[in-house]
Amino acid sequence: MAPRGQNVGIDGPEQLERALRSAFYLADDGLATAAYLALALGKPLLLEGAPGVGKTEAAKAISGVLARRLIRLQCYEGIDAATALYEWNYPRQMLAIRQAGDQPIDIYRDEFLIERPMLAALRSPQEAVLLIDEIDRSDHEFEAFLLEFLSDFQISIPERGTLRAHERPVVILTSNRTRELHEALRRRCVYHWIDYPDAEREARIVMMRASSVAESTARAVVAAVGKLRREPLTKPPGVAEAVDWAEAATLLHARGARWPDAFKRAIGVALKDEEDLTYVSGRLDSILAEAAA
Amino acid sequence: MSILPRAARPFVTFPALLRANGFAVAPEQTTAFIEAIGLLGPKSMADIRRAAHATLAPPPERRPAFDALFGAHFLGEMEMGDQLAAPEDETVRVQEERARGAEPLLSDEVNEAGQDATTAEALSARRFGEESDFEILRRFARAAPARMPRRPGYRHMRARRGTSFDTRRTLREAVRNDGDVMQLRRLKRRPRQRRVLLLIDVSGSMKERTETHLRIAHALAHAVERIEVFTFGTRLTRVTRAMRLKHRAQALAATATIVSDWDGGTRIGDALRAFLAVPRFAGYSRGAAVIVLSDGLERGDPSAMRNAVTRLSRLAWRVSWLTPLAADPNFTPQTEGLKAILPLVDDLADGSSVRAVCDHVLNLQESQFRMSAA
């Protein structure tokens, strides 16, 4: 078993929060605590939340803070070990056998092994953060297969035997909650539910991400986005959409558009679904007027 | 427990309290919880609360209940009743089944003498009549697994005539034959059953048929994989979990308690919109065989219904709208709602009897082939 806990040089959630802020990510107390505990306990971090609340961004920021490479494994329905773990380079093996002729040859050497994200993270745990993105898109078989990896950090390659990490790699899982994850998976992880940030923090996020945006614009956008999220929309605007909207409106304003009009004309970056647009179109003026007030 | 220091005891008893209240907490999570508290100081109660959230991982929809238990255990607060009660409002709301809410109904114990009242008795707010169409349903359940619509999956299986090569197996055999490939092995995509999504209208106008429809849903839920069942009227309720209960009477009783808009009005458009607004639910309809059991008598705005069905038909593989009104072969839709959705759904068919509904479900795959051949 790989030794637990990591010497990542971070002392407490407050310090991690400061470090994340310098990596341009504003984490709330809950997220900073969960991330710190995951690092200190050597457990994977499972982040769940609605699309667009910054789960993947959080993983990127954490890898930035640790100064490690981010290895991303995007999950999809039907993902299997060959895409996630390793694959043998069959054509090369075949050629090598041909070439060798009568000589004995080991076709299971490293040069014939194609490294996939999970194996890569296992082989260099100190240099990488493994992000298993949108785990809810994969199917149950893959989730069950992940369990072995996440509890023992080892991989069995039948031709080579068991590979074990000499140190626990940092693993971050994200899920949009399109389906219920298995209890056993949640149990092995440190868990955090990322909610939409409150208005105050979201305004700060907008200003930090888009430096050209004035404070009043950021606040108005955040208030409007907050109202839109309470409507039954197909795709409620996420944090990234709020940033884009503020930036787009600022740009239009600089080109001479008047204020409420600039917001209205830039709505396309916040709402990206035709039916959502028709649904709110009637009330958009009043929403914007209230938000700007 | 006696080997633990006195101060650590509340932290060990808290997970036990959670378990008693239906949260799943594993021993390793308790260990992680205590380690986490040690790591955090703890400097304040907030640290302990955050450690509890991170390590004991309550599902987000049960967070208020979790926080109430936390308060009661560590702070001595007694305000559980307020926190657990849901606010009432007029808009179409989505009801999520509580993770363990239906648990007492799982009990197989029957109290013959009736001395102690059982939970199952108290919960059956709505009673269902005697068995009918029993034989049809049984045959339906037996035939369903083989006849559900399928699509090629993303996983492969060995096949004599496959579309792609099984390089791994071919190479292994080549190694045995001194590197000579004697036979190219092949793979094909393993067929996978499409998800089935049943949307059952429980409003007043469908009162006569609701029970039958739930029986069909129950039979189907046990016969096939990947099925989701929702009811709608003025609200949208997910009843998949209740439908998974094995005994039909228990499943129907559980459904009766979860659904709170029996025999009310219908706001199909709003209910479907609420369904599509939850990404997790909308995901159920992606590539699925969607079967709506409703008469399409919309009390609200027909345009809302049209918009929602448009979106649904784009997400789904096939939308079948089974209405009891279509029993007559000369049926043409008269209501504004049904006329609006006619061009959007793949089938508008007879849903007046168990046999009609069952036959339609069993023939989904074939009718698809017929359509594409024509």
Reported pTM: 0.71
Q: Are residue A208 and residue A87 in the same domain, yes or no?
A: no
Number of H helices, E strands in chain A: 14, 9
Query: Got the DSSP string for A179-227?
Result: SPPPHHHHHHSEEEEEPPPPHHHHHHHHHHH-TTS-HHHHHHHHHHHHH
Residue range A123-178, pLDDT digits in tens: 988 889 999 999 988 877 788 888 888 888 888 888 888 888 888 899 999 998 87
Nearest CA of chain A to the CA of B230: how many Å?
Answer: 15
Q: Does residue A166 sit in the same domain as residue A222?
A: no
* Residue A85 structural domain: 13-194
Query: A169 and A255 share a domain?
Result: no
A29: nearest CB among B26, B32, B50: B50
Chain A residues closer than 8 Å to B171 by CB: 88, 90, 93-94
Distance (Å, whole) CA B41 – CA B35:
10
What pLDDT does residue A16 have?
93
A190 and A250 together in one domain: no
The β-bridge relationship of strands B196-201 and B289-293 is: parallel
> Contacts of residue A77 in chain B, CB cutoff 8 Å?
154
- Residue where a domain stops, chosen among A148, A175, A194: A194
Residues A40 and A158 in one domain: yes
The tally of domains found in chain A comes to 2
A25/A71 same-domain check: yes
Dump pLDDT digits (tens) for B41-79: 888 888 899 999 999 988 887 888 899 999 888 888 655
Q: Confirm whether A8 is domain-assigned.
A: no
* Of B337, B360, B358, the residue nearest B349 (C-alpha): B360
Question: Does a structural domain hold residue A98?
Answer: yes
Q: What is the mean pLDDT of chain B?
A: 80
My answer on whether A162 and A214 are in the same domain is no
- ipTM for the assembly: 0.79
The letter for the amino acid at B343 is P
Cβ of A41 within 8 Å of Cβ of B36? The answer is yes
3-state secondary structure of B232: strand
The domain that contains A60 carries what CATH number?
3.40.50.300
Is the residue at A178 inside a domain? Answer: yes
**Domain presence at residue A91:** yes
pLDDT at B118 (0 to 100): 45
Residue A125 and residue A93 share a domain: yes
CA-CA distance, B320 to B356, in Å (whole number)? 13
CB pairs under 8 A between A and B: 106
Of A37, A48, A94, nearest to B54 by CB-CB distance is A37
Considering only alpha carbons, which residue of chain A is nearest residue B174? A94
d(CA A121, CA A105): 28
Q: Measured between beta carbons, which residues in chain B are less than 8 angstroms from residue A176? A: 279-280
Same domain for A145 and A161, yes or no, is yes
Tell me, yes or no, whether A5 lies in a domain.
no
Q: Is residue A3 part of a domain?
A: no
Q: Does B35 touch chain A (CB under 8 A)?
A: yes
Lowest mean pLDDT segment, chosen from B6-10, B294-298, B357-361:
B6-10
Main-chain phi, psi angles of B232, to 5 degrees: -145, 150
Q: Decide which of B233 and B88 is more confident.
A: B233
A188 lies in the same domain as A83: yes
In a domain, A4, yes or no: no
Which of residues B97 and A215 earns the better pLDDT score? A215
Query: Do the Cβ atoms of A178 and B283 come closer than 8 Å?
Result: yes
CA distance A179 to chain B (A): 6
